[in-house]
Copies of this chain bind each other. A is one copy, B any other.
Amino acid sequence: MKTVGIVGLGLIGGSLGLDLRSHNFNVLGISHRQETCEKAKQIGAVDEYIVLSENSEVDEVKTKLLQGVEIVFICTPIDKITPTLKRLIPYLLPKTIVTDVGSVKTPIVQACSQLWDYFIGGHPMAGTARQGIEAAQNDLFVGAAYVLTPTETTPLVARERVEEIARSLGSIIYTCMPEEHDRAVAWISHLPVMVSAALIDACMSETDPKVFNLARQLASSGFRDTSRVGGGNPELGLMMAQYNQENLLRSLFSYRARLDRLIDTIKRENWDNLESILELTQRSRSEFLSSSHCSIINS
């Protein structure tokens, strides 16, 4: 039985553990918190675990466990991925495959590829509104996109092995360069967060208490959907901006130009033009979504 190591036992790490155990992998969970490890064991997300914090001692037993691992999935928050790899390196056998699940790839792949030959960046695009090991669930990755971002120097075996496992989770695999991934997710994932956050922020600015209360009372599916991702986990939004700053700004500038054009069209009462824009966005959205992996699954 092959052993997979999962570092970081949150929603993604925990869900991965549940699925991989049901696919007959032996799962070694690694977290810096004893309590998280125990919880993961209790819900069946790991077979065994190591508590590994920055300063915790790595004795012979732990070293042996780590050396028995074929693949490591680093499922920590983005800012902890590279430090985690550094911490693990002394205990891994040289051909151990390491991958991560971070939602930004360029800086992670650059740093980790230099540290470890058998590293390949990955991004399973699955999630729920809930977080942490308590939110872990089976089949979280079914029908979700799983992006792999090998570079020219990534060993083929690393790419093939992670792809095989991702496919076994029911994910749809996409392979591209880290830079392409980051530009694409800036449009469809990171930009929507900021656009949506600004909407919430703006709605809070109404100063007439009667209108403000009425707006809250009348808010329904339109506001609910458009504001959803802007009301999500602030830590995730922050990491997107920090790690994908350049691409996000590029998307935001383009967005602001389009918004300004809309505002100007409304201000000038150029109704034919407004109608054309809205007809185009209606058509564009259905075309856009007809190519998405969601449509592939649903069709």
Check A158 for interface membership: any CB of B closer than 8 A.
no
Q: Is the CB of A274 closer than 8 A to any CB of chain B?
A: yes
Assembly CA distance A174 to B293 (angstroms): 41
19 pairs across A/B with beta carbons < 8 Å?
A174-B218, A176-B210, A195-B198, A198-B255, A198-B262, A199-B255, A200-B281, A200-B288, A213-B291, A216-B289, A217-B292, A219-B291, A220-B293, A223-B289, A231-B281, A231-B284, A238-B278, A249-B266, A252-B263
Q: Is the CB of B281 within 8 A of A219?
A: no
B197 touching A183 by the CB < 8 A rule? no
Number of interface residues of A (CB under 8 A): 97
Check A180/B214 contact, CB under 8 A, given A195-B199, A226-B195, A281-B197: yes
Judge whether A267 is part of the interface by a CB distance below 8 angstroms. Answer: yes
Instruction: Provide the main secondary structure of the chain A interface.
Output: helix
Chain A residues in the interface with B (C-beta under 8 A) = 125, 144-145, 147, 174, 176, 180-181, 183-185, 187-189, 191-206, 208, 210-211, 213-235, 237-238, 241-242, 245, 248-249, 251-263, 266-267, 269, 271, 274-275, 277-282, 284-286, 288-289, 291-294
Tell me whether B293 and A266 are in contact (CB under 8 A): no
Number of copies: 2
A285 to B218, CA, bound (A): 14
A293 touches B218 (CB 8 A): yes
Contacts of A274 in B (CB 8 A): 237-238, 241
Chain B proximity of A236: nearest CB distance (Å): 9
Q: Which 9 A-B pairs have the closest CB atoms?
A: A231-B285, A234-B278, A216-B291, A192-B226, A184-B214, A202-B255, A188-B223, A184-B215, A201-B258
Known pairs A217-B292, A230-B281, A253-B263; list 15 more (Cβ under 8 Å): A145-B218, A176-B210, A183-B206, A184-B215, A188-B216, A192-B227, A194-B262, A195-B196, A197-B281, A201-B284, A216-B292, A219-B291, A249-B267, A252-B266, A256-B260
